[in-house]
């Protein structure tokens, strides 16, 4: 059968040498987060919707669709969150309701992500967090000013998706972007992502719709 045929094949694994690159330790520094946001924007803009349709990729993301995750993860979300609250009572006890809320809205959120993926398809990383990114400082210009470059790794959850999923996952897991806000809403990182995506899209010849972050105001929303 096909599985036996694959197992009898020969494979060659090509690995890039990342000597000189470093991984963040804990929460990303501001410069690292900015570089990562720009890298994600460029990655999302690398394939047009037409190309993605030809590739027939599955939906990407570590957490979506729910069929990629064990059903027990959603069903036991109340218990899992309660255990976390028990370990950090001082910090999390006021938020003890979150486990139940997440369980109740998970299917609806997955449905929304699926609909937005159909409307605004992009090639997404799927697990965009600090441990899956490497950084190095390049020197450019006569003044030797440093420019931070980002290398994305670990693409097992990559696929077609809504670009904002990568952005929000990165900001929530690897930055303090939301900890410094008085109210939820677009952060400077969101605007940076949008501008980087537009710049990357204009350098391509087959880019269609937006990767998934919109702003009010006088932004130039090119198709």
Q: What is the tens place of the pLDDT at every residue in 13-31?
A: 777 888 899 998 889 999 9
| pLDDT tens readout for residues 112-161 | 989 999 999 999 999 999 999 999 988 665 565 678 999 999 998 999 99
How large is the average pLDDT for residues 169-193?
81
Flag whether 161 is in a domain: yes
Flag whether 71 is in a domain: no
Q: Which region holds residue 165: left if phi is over 0, alpha if psi is between -120 and 50, else beta?
A: alpha
Cβ proximity of 43 and 154 under 8 Å = no
Structural domain count of the chain: 1
Cβ proximity of 129 and 165 under 8 Å = no
Q: Is the pLDDT confidence value at 209 over 50?
A: no
Q: What pLDDT shows up at residue 207?
A: 37
Q: What percent of the chain has pLDDT over 90?
A: 43
Residue 190's domain comprises 28-65+117-202
The CATH number covering residue 147 comes to 1.10.510
d(CA 205, CA 56): 20
């Amino acid at each position: 059968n096909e599985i036996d045929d694959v197992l009898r094949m020969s494979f060659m694994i090509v690995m890039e040498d990342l000597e000189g690159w470093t991984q963040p330790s804990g929460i990303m520094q501001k410069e690292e987060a900015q570089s990562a946001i720009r890298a994600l924007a460029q990655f999302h803009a690398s394939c047009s919707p037409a190309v993605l349709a030809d590739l027939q990729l599955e939906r990407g993301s570590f957490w979506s669709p729910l069929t990629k995750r064990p059903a027990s993860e959603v069903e036991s979300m109340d218990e899992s969150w309660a255990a976390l609250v028990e370990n950090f009572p001082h910090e999390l006890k006021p938020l003890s309701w979150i486990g139940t809320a997440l369980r109740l809205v998970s299917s609806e959120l997955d449905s929304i992500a699926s609909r937005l993926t159909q409307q605004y398809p992009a090639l997404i990383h799927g697990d965009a967090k600090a441990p899956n990114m490497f950084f190095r400082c390049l020197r450019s210009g006569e003044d030797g000013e440093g420019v931070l470059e980002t290398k994305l790794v670990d693409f097992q959850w990559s696929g077609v998706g809504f670009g904002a999923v990568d952005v929000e996952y990165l900001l929530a897991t690897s930055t303090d972007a939301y900890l410094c806000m008085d109210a939820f809403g677009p952060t400077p990182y969101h605007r940076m992502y949008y501008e980087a995506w537009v710049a990357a899209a204009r350098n391509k010849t087959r880019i269609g719709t937006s990767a998934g972050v919109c702003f009010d105001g006088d932004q130039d929303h090119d198709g």
